[in-house]
Structures are given as C-alpha cells and as structure tokens.
C-alpha cells in the first residue's frame, strides 16, 4: 500500500501522543504475509535486525546489512495498510557519526516507505538522534540491552540492575531530550522501567521490561513458537507454529512414501472433461 493510499496510518507524532494511554502494541515482521496478519492488531510493526538471527540463521545481529533491511522492509510495507512501519538501522550503518546515520536512514526511509527508523544507544547516540530528527527523520531509540553491543556488554544480560540503573535512566532522558518519539527498553528491571516510564515524556516500549511501559514489543517468531533456537525469559509463546509445521511436514513425508499423496482430487484426468449439455 502506498503512503498516499493509506490515510489512517499513525505517524510518529501519533505514537508519541499515546504516552500514558492505552498501551501501544507492536511486533516485529520480516515478510508480507506476516505483516498482513498483524496489520489490524498492531499500532506499529518493526522490521527488526533480529531478522538476521530469526530468518537468516546468523549468530547475532552484527552481520545484518542495509540490503537485507531494505528487502525485508519493502516486503513488510507491502503487507501493511493500517499500522506504521519502523525499521532498524543495522550494525555499522550509523555509529560513525550523524552524517553517516543520515545517509543510511534516508536510504531506508526512501527505499522502504518506513515511517521511522530505530537505532540502538542512549547518551552516545543523542547527537545523532538530534541530527536526524532536525532533518526530517523520526527516530525511535533503543536502550537497556542493545543486542548490537553484545560483544562489549558480554552477553544478552539484564541491564541496569542496582547502581547501573542511573546510567539507563540517563540514556532514557538523553534520547527523549534529543527528540526521539519513543524508546524501546529491552531487558531492564521492572522497577527501573516503571521509573523511566514515569520520568520521560515519550512512550516507553518494553521487551523484558514492565507491563507498566507505554507499550510492548516481541519478536513475532518467538511469540508464535516459530523460532526455537533459544527462548528468552521475556518471551511468552502464544502458539506452537514450529511444532505444527514439523508435524505437517512429517505427515506429508509419510503420505508420499505410502503413495497416499497425491490423492485423486489432486491429479488431472487424461481426457479433457466435456461440459454436460443443458437439459
Ligand atoms: N528470536 C529473537 N528474539 C529476540 O528477542 C531477539 C533476537 N532474536 N535477535 C536480536 C535480539 C537479541 N535479543 C536477545 C537475545 C538473546 C537473549 C537471551 O538469550 N536471553 C536469555 C539469557 C541470556 C544471558 O543471560 O546471557 C534469557 O533467558 O533472557 C535475549 C535477547 C533480543 N533480540
Ligand atoms: C527486539 C526488537 C526491539 C528489535 O530490535 C529487533 O527485533 O531487532
Ligand atoms: Mg533490533
């Protein structure tokens, strides 16, 4: 759906205005059919760089490229009529500085039709966020556990326990002050997430944070039980599609080997069927 045809899709300003209201609903998507499934139910859909781990079998998000994000972003946008699309900036596409970030963010927006970009980092990225926003690119921030920094964080651990909490609070204030319209809080303690949510003027979107956040997000393949290589504590499985898919494949294999598939209704007669004359 083109940007002009969709009149009721929320914009970043609309998402921002939802601060303190009915919680914002979001999931990741990477393909057109999955985007279609969630379009009517989500306020915004994230084309996450988790696509690298979830669909491409990469060991982390570090190997995700601009080209991958653009292809998946285009696919997701084709499946959305109502929800806003946000797209992750991949590792290495924005950290050098504001000019590099603008060049790549503008390309993501122009080539996919996304309504906003998301990038990881708090105080360290505040100048970059301000630079993008001042030049027309809405930015969603992402703080707490920032998976692109797995190598410096030393794992996918909870961020901001005890004294570390003040640094996460400072990150939240910095991205809000810089002009981000919302911020993802990933894997931070519940009380800290609640304090940040009460402190900053933009919506907090929790993943492993708190039900008190202004919204929630999950990786769709996690909540559908399609991605099973690992399950973070914050994931709730709402379906078991991976198991269902395996059972279906096993049934197909058995029927093929038994020559039970294809059945008569799946094959074609040798003689061209003649339409019966009217009586
Ligand atoms: N499928 C999937 N779901 C995600 O939420 C996700 C991705 N992939 N890829 C990109 C990032 C990486 N994230 C991750 C990755 C691993 C854990 C994890 O394994 N957490 C464990 C504990 C790991 C540890 O303490 O080192 C957990 O139980 O929460 C959490 C978030 C979140 N994102
Ligand atoms: C987990 C969400 C917030 C994300 O950044 C991703 O899917 O890449
Ligand atoms: Mg991401």
Mean pLDDT (the chain) is 96
With a cut of 50, say whether residue 97 has pLDDT above it.
yes
pLDDT bracket for residue 5 (50, 70, 90)? low
The contacts found for 7-12 with CB under 8 angstroms, 24 or more apart, are: 8/82, 9/80, 9/81, 9/82, 9/83, 9/84, 9/115, 10/43, 10/44, 10/83, 10/84, 10/115, 11/84, 11/115, 11/138, 12/84, 12/115, 12/116, 12/138, 12/140, 12/181, 12/182
Residue 274's pLDDT is: 82
Task: Label residue 275 by pLDDT band (50, 70, 90).
Answer: confident
**What are 148-184's pLDDT values in tens digits?**
999 999 999 999 999 999 999 999 999 999 999 999 9
- Rounded to whole angstroms, the Cα distance separating 149 from 70 reads 22
**Separation of alpha carbons 128 and 200, rounded Å:** 19
Confirm whether 98 is domain-assigned. yes
Check residue 1 and give its pLDDT. 47
Q: Which domain CATH number covers 156?
A: 3.20.20.60
Count CB atoms within 10 A of the CB of residue 16. Answer: 17
The answer to whether 215 and 205 have CB atoms below 8 angstroms apart is yes
CA distance 174 to 177: 5
pLDDT at 119: 99
pLDDT score for 277: 76
In a domain, 267, yes or no: no
Q: Is 150 in the pocket of ligand 1 (CB under 6 A)?
A: no
pLDDT band at 272 (very low <50, low <70, confident <90, very high): confident
Indicate whether 247 belongs to any domain: no
Centroid of ligand 2 to alpha carbon of 4 (angstroms): 27
**Is 186 an active-site residue?**
yes
Which residues are part of a known binding site for Mg(2+)?
49, 88, 120
Query: Would you say residue 123 lies in a domain?
Result: yes
| 102 part of a folded domain | yes
């Amino acid at each position: 759906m083109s940007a002009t045809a969709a009149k009721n899709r929320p914009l970043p300003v609309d998402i921002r205005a939802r601060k303190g209201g009915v919680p914002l609903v979001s999931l990741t998507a990477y393909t057109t059919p999955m985007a279609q499934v969630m379009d009517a139910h989500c306020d915004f859909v994230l084309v996450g760089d988790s696509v690298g781990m979830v669909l491409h079998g990469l060991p982390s998000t570090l190997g995700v490229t601009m080209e991958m994000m653009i292809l998946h972003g285009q696919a997701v946008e084709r499946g959305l009529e109502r929800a806003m699309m946000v797209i992750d900036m991949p590792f290495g596409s924005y950290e050098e500085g504001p000019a590099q970030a603008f060049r790549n963010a503008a390309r993501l927006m122009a080539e996919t039709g996304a309504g906003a970009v998301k990038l990881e980092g708090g105080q360290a990225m505040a100048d970059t966020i301000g630079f993008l926003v001042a030049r027309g690119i809405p930015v969603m921030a992402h703080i707490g556990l920032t998976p692109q920094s797995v190598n410096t964080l030393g794992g996918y651990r909870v961020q901001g326990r005890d004294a570390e909490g003040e640094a996460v609070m400072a990150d939240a204030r910095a991205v809000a002050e810089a002009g981000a319209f919302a911020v993802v809080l990933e894997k931070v303690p519940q009380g800290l997430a609640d304090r940040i949510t009460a402190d900053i003027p933009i919506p907090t979107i929790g993943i492993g944070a708190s039900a008190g956040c202004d919204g929630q997000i999950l990786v769709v393949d996690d909540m559908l039980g399609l991605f099973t290589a690992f399950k973070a504590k914050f994931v709730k499985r709402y379906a078991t599609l991976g198991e269902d898919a395996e059972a279906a494949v096993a049934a197909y294999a058995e029927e093929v080997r038994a020559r039970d598939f294809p059945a008569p209704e799946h094959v074609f007669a040798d003689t061209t069927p003649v339409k019966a004359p009217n009586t």
